[in-house]
Copies of this chain bind each other. A is one copy, B any other.
Amino acid sequence: MKFEVTILGSSSATPIFNRNPSAQALNINERLYLIDCGEGTQQQMLRFDVKPSRIDHIFISHLHGDHYLGLVGLLSSMHLNGRTKPLKLVCPPELKEIIDLQLKYSDTTLQFDIDFIFTDASRVQVILDNPDIIVETIPLDHRIACTGFLFREKRRLRKIIKEKIADLDIPVEYYAAIKKGADYLAPNGKLYKNADITIGADEPKTYAYCSDTMYNENYFAQISNADLLYHESTFLNNMLDRAQGTYHTTALQAGEVALKTHAKKLLIGHFSARYKTLNELLDEARSVFPDTELAVEGKTFVIGD
């Protein structure tokens, strides 16, 4: 199953040329899940060939503009481009009021329904559960209510070994049970153990998205053992005071989060515009957690790779 994330924006609030505010497109089994939608996300989607028509779920972490100001434009474009299928929008409840007001004053009635699913940053919620994925909110520690999102793949069914199907002439109506782990009793009375006729699916993978937040161990247990941890890393650690004052994290701290939560890999982003190049941020995080990458616009990361 495909499970990968493409970075559409990596900057924090103040704009900087060639970086965009937060947005990521998560591809789960060829369905797209948009995480945050900063201003200009539509242009980034055009640039990196991420089709809005394939997005059925949008997740907004919080109501600072660099995480959602591209949303109303995106909804409006979906409408103008003829979308009729519903969209699930996971967000703080106040966002509905903002969207409704903007649509009202532009005299726009969307041609598609938005199914709002409201987050509550005071607790963990299972916010989405479909055949591919379970998504939990991650209560973060920011200046305003903010939730990250934890995407857990569902355990996949076992696969029946092709040659066994042919050799044993297994009837199709047995497939479902065998994929779930049943043994196969052939018409001649011989029992074939499940382990001998199937191979296991890959272990389910997890992607933890943590932006924006200051370093706070409260969310560590929930995100532990993530295959890929995206963690904001707004400043270098020589600006730790400023990071704490603005409820953000330093690159060094992001590395510590990854280390302490036993992440398999760390992705850092939400970079302050003061950093024209990102090498120092990367080096600082890697000094604590070597398997770190930069969330750079246009790059795709396979989760579990």
Tell me, yes or no, whether A122 is within 8 Å of chain B by CB: no
| A189 → chain B closest CB, angstroms | 65
| A204 → chain B closest CB, angstroms | 35
| A138 → chain B closest CB, angstroms | 20
With a cutoff of 8 Å between Cβ atoms, the chain B residues found around residue A92 in the complex are 105
With a cutoff of 8 Å between Cβ atoms, the chain B residues found around residue A47 in the complex are 17
Taking a contact as CB atoms closer than 8 A, the residue among B40, B77, B81 that contacts A40 in the complex is B40
Q: How far is the CA of A219 from the CA of B39 in the complex (A)?
A: 34
Taking a contact as CB atoms closer than 8 A, the residue among B42, B101, B102, B106 that contacts A144 in the complex is B106
Stretch at the interface among A62-70, A126-134, A297-305: A62-70
Known: A63-B106, A101-B101. A46 touches B17 (CB 8 A): yes
| A267 → chain B closest CB, angstroms | 23
Query: Contact: A14 with B80, CB < 8 Å?
Result: yes
With a cutoff of 8 Å between Cβ atoms, the chain B residues found around residue A13 in the complex are 76-77, 80
**Which single residue of chain B is at the shortest CB-CB distance from A70?**
B39
The number of residues on chain A lying at the interface, defined by a beta carbon within 8 Å of a beta carbon of chain B, is: 36
**Which single residue of chain B is at the shortest CB-CB distance from A41?**
B39
Taking a contact as CB atoms closer than 8 A, the residue among B39, B46, B144 that contacts A39 in the complex is B39
Query: Contact: B43 with A17, CB < 8 Å?
Result: yes
| A96 → chain B closest CB, angstroms | 11
Query: Contact: B15 with A43, CB < 8 Å?
Result: yes
Tell me, yes or no, whether A143 is within 8 Å of chain B by CB: yes
Tell me, yes or no, whether A55 is within 8 Å of chain B by CB: no
Tell me, yes or no, whether A163 is within 8 Å of chain B by CB: no
Q: Which of A15, A66, A92 has the most CB of B within 10 A?
A: A15
Query: Contact: A69 with B63, CB < 8 Å?
Result: no
Known: A65-B106, A106-B65. A77 touches B15 (CB 8 A): yes
Q: How far is the CA of A143 from the CA of B107 in the complex (A)?
A: 8
Taking a contact as CB atoms closer than 8 A, the residue among B65, B73, B80, B101 that contacts A98 in the complex is B101
Taking a contact as CB atoms closer than 8 A, the residue among B15, B17, B81 that contacts A14 in the complex is B81
Within 8 A of B (CB), among A65-117: 65-66, 69-70, 72-73, 76-77, 80-81, 92, 94-95, 97-98, 101-102, 105-107
Tell me, yes or no, whether A288 is within 8 Å of chain B by CB: no
Tell me, yes or no, whether A259 is within 8 Å of chain B by CB: no
Q: Can you name 25 A-B pairs with beta carbons within 8 Å?
A: A13-B80, A14-B77, A14-B80, A15-B42, A15-B73, A17-B47, A39-B39, A39-B73, A40-B40, A40-B43, A63-B102, A63-B106, A65-B73, A65-B102, A66-B73, A92-B105, A94-B105, A95-B105, A97-B101, A98-B102, A98-B105, A101-B101, A105-B144, A106-B144, A107-B143
Q: Apart from A13-B77, A15-B42, what are 18 other A-B pairs with CB-CB below 8 Å?
A: A13-B76, A15-B77, A16-B46, A39-B39, A39-B70, A39-B73, A63-B105, A63-B106, A65-B76, A65-B106, A69-B72, A94-B105, A95-B105, A97-B105, A98-B98, A101-B101, A105-B144, A107-B143
